[in-house]
Amino acid sequence: MSNPPPSGGDLSRLRQLNALSAIRALRGTEPLPLSAIASRTGLSRPSTKEVVDELMGLGWVEEVPPTPGTVGRPARRYRFRSGSGYLAGVDIGAHNVRAAVADLDGNIVAETRQAVRPDTPVADRLAVVERAVAGCLAMSGLTAGNLWTVVIGTTGLVDRDGRVIFSAAIPNWSGLDLAGLLGGKFPCDVLVENDSRLAALAETRRGVARGSREVVFLHIGRRMGTGLIIDGRLHRGFGAAAGEIGMLPETRWKSAITHLHGCAIVPEGTPPEDAAGYVLAAARAGDPAAVAAVERYVDELAVGAAATVLTLDPELVVLGGGFSRSADVLLPPLRSRLEAVCLRMPELRASTLGDECVVLGAIDYAADHLDRQLFAADTGPALPLPLSVTR
Amino acid sequence: MSNPPPSGGDLSRLRQLNALSAIRALRGTEPLPLSAIASRTGLSRPSTKEVVDELMGLGWVEEVPPTPGTVGRPARRYRFRSGSGYLAGVDIGAHNVRAAVADLDGNIVAETRQAVRPDTPVADRLAVVERAVAGCLAMSGLTAGNLWTVVIGTTGLVDRDGRVIFSAAIPNWSGLDLAGLLGGKFPCDVLVENDSRLAALAETRRGVARGSREVVFLHIGRRMGTGLIIDGRLHRGFGAAAGEIGMLPETRWKSAITHLHGCAIVPEGTPPEDAAGYVLAAARAGDPAAVAAVERYVDELAVGAAATVLTLDPELVVLGGGFSRSADVLLPPLRSRLEAVCLRMPELRASTLGDECVVLGAIDYAADHLDRQLFAADTGPALPLPLSVTR
């Protein structure tokens, strides 16, 4: 069971606020008995019972079966249903559009990938995004009305309003009001963020950076980017333009990939999207020309990585993105170059989230957005959640 | 009147906690009547009166004269005496040791400067530091016992324990346990921090970066360094090694000064410490060779500055340190170079704190340390302040 879309208010304001308090009390904790919910919400026990019954009727809260073997009559316990609503995450790249739908705890229920081209027209790429989310929903027996938040990750520089200021990878993407164009397509909040930042977030939530508060995420694949976690938070900068060390000519990040694509061992006719993988695999097997090409590629990667590390002094550098599955080939030469210039050497780890790091980060970002709304709800005038439903 | 040194407990624990509550209530606000102090501390009015009387007796709180012309009998109002105690800040450089003593609001009451050399022996440089602080105290009619916190700023990389990990400017400084060596010389906490970080802090408190939460401070003089303010806080990094972009060979920061020192127009026999100033002044006057030398110097400065800006996307870049008084000559060429590579151009401002930026930052850092102790006092077991005095 999942919830129908919001449709005007039939819960009174007070009942909505009480319901929000109860949801807050139950979200992210173990199942609680009524007494604990009452104590956390400050409601009387009868009011708590009433609110919890109502939330059970709406499908947002469920009773947990008593633990077998409990002596005496155990108190009934309740938990927030992570399937009360759903989150969608999308990764719009130059060559692929990935999408996933997850429950409110971030568990993925369906995902899709569709190939596109850097020159795919804007309208076509947006249509792919819509079809990708619709496909995930259809596979899961859900509709758009079940979505509580949609987060779009995209290559390029994205401002706070969800506009793509600049994208080198998708030329027709620069200047696009992506939040505006996609906002009307879903009956919930639609947020847009830079792909490398979302991937960095995913690493701190479900990847190799869990527990670290100072992280530099190096997003490497056909293009390079960084996502920065500073003091435990995603760092955007004053104008949402942080992490763009690749713009510094001295880093040579824009041309680094040519060392792999242009390697002489690549068989004629290999599609560009397979050339780098071919060279990385040959380097793993010890081919001298491939090893030399990888060394030159890492030379370029290392300058921007070292600049970011020297600026921030992170605990951890995570190598992620499409090339992270070749981390065994890339990490040793990257480590030696960083050691040569860094005053304090951070730990280096390879991501295990692979190509899905952005879409997972989009889901995690959507869950954060939802939690911010839940926890801010009693200070603001508006209720952000679809709590006023038709029954 | 200022306070004698701490000397064991004659205020009971409860009275100390009540006194701390009252100090917290009064620190950094306008004068308050007893009723407001009682409401902020949660103490009864009689207890509040007792605590305030006691603090007045100790010299930490004073009564404010009633505003002239007030009708009726005005309530007595009290304020925290910024002269209850004093803070010392020291800037240990390769060529100068500066010191200042300030009241608890950070108002400087005395300052000194003494020349040293990069190769001054460690023991001699430490003796200069002691004499510098003693000189400030003597000028102000104070003794070391009046100091509540001492903060030492020094060139080089300083770890969280106050050890100098590495200093290129003062060769015999690397590896020195500065906090340990100076800790025993003063009857209060002695903290050590990197000089550029302290200067950045001063800019946000009393300089051109007031009100900004994302600031890159470029510390330029005979050497270059950076201090980073991220989300309103001084950024140290995981191992206190943040802001060291100058270690990246591509920045060429280590050799940049040679463009000024080696300029052909510098008269023979000019001491190295005056050469750069001579060239900057000549560039201001339009001398072509000096202008060319400054351009080459800024070329080098700009690479590290751009790397830091591209990584962090600050609101503001502040040019500070000894060369900041030549900002009129340096800012225009720096601006054009940053504009060429930065995706979003930050505002550029010249510091007005000049050579005193580090010592002022040390005072501000000391005041922050004191406030952290005041505000953390009721959660920790120890009372950090000299509240148990012999009367």
Give pLDDT tens digits for B193-234: 999 999 999 999 999 999 999 999 999 988 899 999 999 999
Question: Measured between alpha carbons, how far apart are the two ends of chain B, in Å?
Answer: 14
- Band (pLDDT 50/70/90 cuts) for residue B60 is confident
Q: Which of A85, A39, A80, A178 is nearest to A384 (CA)?
A: A85
CB contact under 8 A, B314 and A238: yes
**For the segment A107-147, what is each residue's pLDDT rounded down to a tens digit?**
999 999 999 999 999 999 999 999 999 999 999 999 999 99
| CA-based R_g, chain A, Å | 24
| Token pair recorded at residue A362 | 């989009």
The answer to whether the CB of A190 falls within 8 A of the CB of A152 is yes
- Of the spans A191-205, B164-178, B270-284, which averages the highest pLDDT? A191-205
**For the segment A156-210, what is each residue's pLDDT rounded down to a tens digit?**
999 999 999 989 899 899 999 999 999 999 999 999 999 999 999 999 999 999 9
CB contact under 8 A, A248 and B303: yes
A307 → chain B, closest CA residue: B245
Q: Does B200 touch chain A (CB under 8 A)?
A: no
The answer to whether the CB of B305 falls within 8 A of the CB of B319 is no
CB contact under 8 A, B230 and A230: yes
Cα(A342)–Cα(A115) distance, integer angstroms: 39
CB contact under 8 A, B341 and A249: yes
**For the segment B105-133, what is each residue's pLDDT rounded down to a tens digit?**
899 999 999 999 999 999 999 999 999 99
Q: Establish, for the pair of chains A and B, how many residue pairs have beta carbons separated by less than 8 Å.
A: 125
Cα(A387)–Cα(A20) distance, integer angstroms: 8
Q: Which of A274, A246, A102, A92 is nearest to A170 (CA)?
A: A92
Instruction: Compute CA distances B278 → B169, B192, B351, whole Å.
Output: 22, 33, 20
Of the residues A204, A218, A228, A238, the best mutation for testing chain B's interface (the one with the most B CB atoms within 10 Å of its CB) is: A238
**Does residue A3 have a pLDDT over 60?**
no
Among A260-269, A373-382, B127-136, B362-371, name the one with the lowest average pLDDT. Answer: A373-382
Phi-psi category of B354—alpha, beta or left, where left has phi over 0 and alpha has psi -120 to 50?
Answer: left
A85-200+357-370 and A13-83 share a CATH fold:
no
A345 DSSP 8-state letter: P
In chain B, what residues touch A311 (CB-CB under 8 Å)?
226, 228, 242-245, 307-308, 311-312
- Band (pLDDT 50/70/90 cuts) for residue B8 is very low
* Contacts with B260 (C-beta within 8 Å, 6 or more apart), sequence order: B275, B276, B279, B280, B293, B294, B297
Q: Does B306 touch chain A (CB under 8 A)?
A: yes
Backbone angles phi, psi at A168, to 5 degrees: -80, -30
Sheet holding A224-230, edge to edge: A233-234, A224-230, A215-220, A316-320, A347-350
Q: Which of B307, B298, B365 is nearest to B327 (CA)?
A: B298
Among A323-337, A355-369, B37-51, B132-146, name the one with the lowest average pLDDT. Answer: B37-51
CB contact under 8 A, A307 and B235: no
Cα(A302)–Cα(A334) distance, integer angstroms: 6
Distance from CA of B250 to the nearest CA of A (A): 7
Q: Does A247 touch chain B (CB under 8 A)?
A: yes
Residues B320-349, mean pLDDT to the nearest whole number:
95
Higher pLDDT, B305 or B354: B305
Per-residue pLDDT at B12:
66
Per-residue pLDDT at A170:
93
In B273-362, which ranges are E strands?
A: 316-320, 347-350
Q: Does B236 touch chain A (CB under 8 A)?
A: yes
Q: Does B242 touch chain A (CB under 8 A)?
A: yes
Q: Which among A242, A243, A344 has the least Cβ separation from residue B241?
A: A344
Residues A54-63, mean pLDDT to the nearest whole number:
88
Of the residues B174, B344, B348, the best mutation for testing chain A's interface (the one with the most A CB atoms within 10 Å of its CB) is: B344
CB contact under 8 A, B239 and A313: yes
CATH class of A13-83: mainly alpha
Q: Does A230 touch chain B (CB under 8 A)?
A: yes
Q: Which among B213, B307, B343 has the least Cβ separation from residue A311?
A: B307
Backbone angles phi, psi at B80, to 5 degrees: -70, 135
Of the residues A157, A245, A311, A339, the best mutation for testing chain B's interface (the one with the most B CB atoms within 10 Å of its CB) is: A311
CB contact under 8 A, B248 and A306: yes
Q: Does B317 touch chain A (CB under 8 A)?
A: no
B166 → chain A, closest CA residue: A343
Neighbours of A181 (CB within 10 A): 18
In chain A, what residues touch B314 (CB-CB under 8 Å)?
237-238
Four-CA torsion B353, B358, B364, B369, nearest 10 degrees: 170
- ipTM of the complex in this document: 0.87
- Overall size of chain A counted in residues: 391
| Token pair recorded at residue A241 | 């333009």
CATH fold for domain B210-352: Nucleotidyltransferase; domain 5 (3.30.420)
CB contact under 8 A, B307 and A248: yes
Residues B12-27, mean pLDDT to the nearest whole number:
80
Cα(A357)–Cα(B114) distance, integer angstroms: 56
Per-residue pLDDT at B83:
87
Residues 129-158 of B with CB under 8 A from A: 157
**Does residue A383 have a pLDDT over 60?**
no
Per-residue pLDDT at A20:
81
Per-residue pLDDT at B245:
97
| Token pair recorded at residue B194 | 């990197």
- Band (pLDDT 50/70/90 cuts) for residue A380 is very low
Query: What CATH number belongs to A85-200+357-370?
Result: 3.30.420.40
**Does residue A390 have a pLDDT over 80?**
no
Cα(B152)–Cα(B98) distance, integer angstroms: 10
The answer to whether the CB of B116 falls within 8 A of the CB of B95 is yes
**For the segment B243-253, what is each residue's pLDDT rounded down to a tens digit?**
999 999 999 99
Per-residue pLDDT at A16:
75
The answer to whether the CB of B196 falls within 8 A of the CB of B208 is no
Q: Does B238 touch chain A (CB under 8 A)?
A: yes
The mean pLDDT of chain B is 89
In chain B, what residues touch A239 (CB-CB under 8 Å)?
313, 315, 344
CATH class of A209-352: alpha beta
**Does residue A253 have a pLDDT over 70?**
yes
B75 DSSP 8-state letter: P
Q: Which among A230, A240, A307 has the least Cβ separation from residue B245?
A: A307
In chain A, what residues touch B306 (CB-CB under 8 Å)?
248
Q: Which among A238, A307, A344 has the least Cβ separation from residue B313?
A: A238
Cα(A30)–Cα(A48) distance, integer angstroms: 17
Instruction: Compute CA distances A255 → A198, A247, A251, B186, whole Å.
Output: 24, 11, 9, 56
CB contact under 8 A, B310 and A231: no
Q: Does A211 touch chain B (CB under 8 A)?
A: no
Residues B154-171, mean pLDDT to the nearest whole number:
92
**Does residue A377 have a pLDDT over 80?**
no
A239 → chain B, closest CA residue: B313
Residues B379-388, mean pLDDT to the nearest whole number:
42
CB contact under 8 A, B311 and A240: no
- Band (pLDDT 50/70/90 cuts) for residue B183 is very high
Of the residues A158, A213, A215, A313, the best mutation for testing chain B's interface (the one with the most B CB atoms within 10 Å of its CB) is: A313
Distance from CA of A308 to the nearest CA of B (A): 6
Q: Does B248 touch chain A (CB under 8 A)?
A: yes
Per-residue pLDDT at A134:
96
Backbone angles phi, psi at A32, to 5 degrees: -125, 145
In chain A, what residues touch B165 (CB-CB under 8 Å)?
343
The answer to whether the CB of B217 falls within 8 A of the CB of B234 is no
Q: Does A236 touch chain B (CB under 8 A)?
A: yes
The mean pLDDT of chain A is 89
A7 DSSP 8-state letter: -
Per-residue pLDDT at A149:
95
| Angle made by CA atoms A228, A232, A236, in degrees to the nearest 5 | 40
Cα(A322)–Cα(A98) distance, integer angstroms: 13
Backbone angles phi, psi at A109, to 5 degrees: -105, -20
Per-residue pLDDT at B277:
94
Q: Does B168 touch chain A (CB under 8 A)?
A: no
Per-residue pLDDT at B376:
62
CB contact under 8 A, B313 and A239: yes
Instruction: Compute CA distances B327 → A265, B196, B198, B229, B322, whole Å.
Output: 53, 17, 20, 21, 10
Is the CATH number of domain B13-67+75-83 1.10.10.10? yes
**Does residue A69 have a pLDDT over 90?**
no
Q: Does B376 touch chain A (CB under 8 A)?
A: no
**Does residue B388 have a pLDDT over 90?**
no
Would you list the domain boundaries of chain A?
Answer: 13-83, 85-200+357-370, 209-352
Q: Does A347 touch chain B (CB under 8 A)?
A: no
**Does residue B375 have a pLDDT over 70?**
no
Per-residue pLDDT at B221:
87
Distance from CA of B243 to the nearest CA of A (A): 4
Q: Which among B213, B226, B344 has the least Cβ separation from residue A241?
A: B344
Q: Which among A236, A241, A341 has the least Cβ separation from residue B248?
A: A341
